[in-house]
Structure 1
Amino acid sequence: MAAVNAPAAAELLSRPVTDEDESKRRLAYLLSRSLAAEGIGDELIDALNEVLDRPPLAPTCRKRDDLLARLGLPLPERRLGRPVPLSAGDAARIADLFRRTTRQLLQVVPHRVSVYPTEELRFLLALRDERPAAAEALSYLRRYALAILAVLDLMGDDE
């Protein structure tokens, strides 16, 4: 690292900013914005909604239900229906989309945040490398979707 003495620093700071410097700054800013816009498309939004809008499993308590049935009491009404299971093809398609989105976010995030979100990106990378069993696919995709949303929230809005 080179040391700069006071007269040299004063001379550097007194130089006017040229139009070329300003153009480079503006171009870098606009490129970072356009990268973010390319990474967040309708396909990703639809996949996030598809995963997060599925109703959770209805809580069941088999022992309680058996006890109520033996006593002749009615079983509690379950408002939440059993969700339509996520097919293996849909789970693979969504997981692949989330992995591609992770790759894009890793390139875009440094240009969009003032403080690098180390923990959020570490969690995103851990989810990218995870390969869940078929029975765990929906919960895995929900965690992945929430991690992506957390990073998108940190990046802020284009407007």
Structure 2
Amino acid sequence: MGTLLFGLRHFLASEAIDDQLWDDLEAVLGEFAPAAPHETADFTMRLRPAITGLVEIVQYDVRPYPVRQMRRLIFLSAEHPPPDGVRGHLNRFAMAILAVLDLLGDAA
């Protein structure tokens, strides 16, 4: 039963945490991060769907449940900043995703 549970958790993690998510996080936080406002909006829209998968995975894999980190992640995913605050919001959002991925450890 433990092996089956491990396999299911690994499958859930691989569905939510794919190469595209890592590429997007690198593009947002990396050395060559986008400067144009339309690019930041595109990245925000691409990162939002990952939240559902992360919420699913964290509830099974992280003990104790990281209420503060998950609350911040969910809040940031629902926020719609004004045009002059999009870049800062995207950085905070990406950092919140990374914080949750760090909690997952090897599952991520």
5+ residue gaps in structure 2? Answer: none
Give the whole-Å Cα distance in 2 for the aligned partners of 1:119 and 1:152: 14
Match of 1:114 in 2: 63
1:53 aligned residue: 30
Q: Does residue 133 of the first structure (1) align with residue 82 of the second (2)?
A: yes
In structure 1, the residue matched to 2:43 is: 94
CA apart distance, 1:25: 2.7
Structure 1 residues not aligned, in runs of 5+: 1-23, 56-82
Rg larger for: 1
The ranges of structure 1 where at least 4 consecutive aligned residues each deviate by more than 4 angstroms after the TM superposition are: none
* 1:84 Cα deviation after fit: 6.0
Looking at secondary structure, tell me which structure has more helix per residue.
Answer: 2
**What CA distance in whole angstroms lies between the structure 2 residues aligned with 1:157 and 1:28?**
15
TM-score (norm 1): 0.62
Please identify, of 104-113 and 144-153, the stretch whose mean Cα deviation from structure 2 is larger: 104-113
- Number of residue equivalences: 108
Cα distance in structure 2, aligned partners of 1:96 and 1:130: 12
1:39 corresponds, among 7, 16, 21, to 16
Shift of 1:34: 1.6
Structure 2 length-normalised TM: 0.88
State the alpha-carbon separation in 1 of the partners of residues 34 and 50 from structure 2.
25
* Alpha-carbon RMSD: 2.0
Residues 25, 92 of structure 1: CA spacing in aligned structure 2 closer, same or farther, 3 A cutoff?
A: same
The alignment-based identity, stated in percent, is 34
Residue identity matched to 2:4: L
Would you say the 8 A contact 2:37–2:86 is kept in 1? Answer: no
Q: Is the 8 A contact 1:33 1:112 kept in 2?
A: no
**Distance in 1 between the 2:28 and 2:34 partners?**
11
Work out the CA distance in 2 between the residues paired with 1:41 and 1:118. Answer: 24
2: distance between equivalents of 1:129 and 1:26? 36
Query: Is 1:123 equivalent to 2:72 in the alignment?
Result: yes
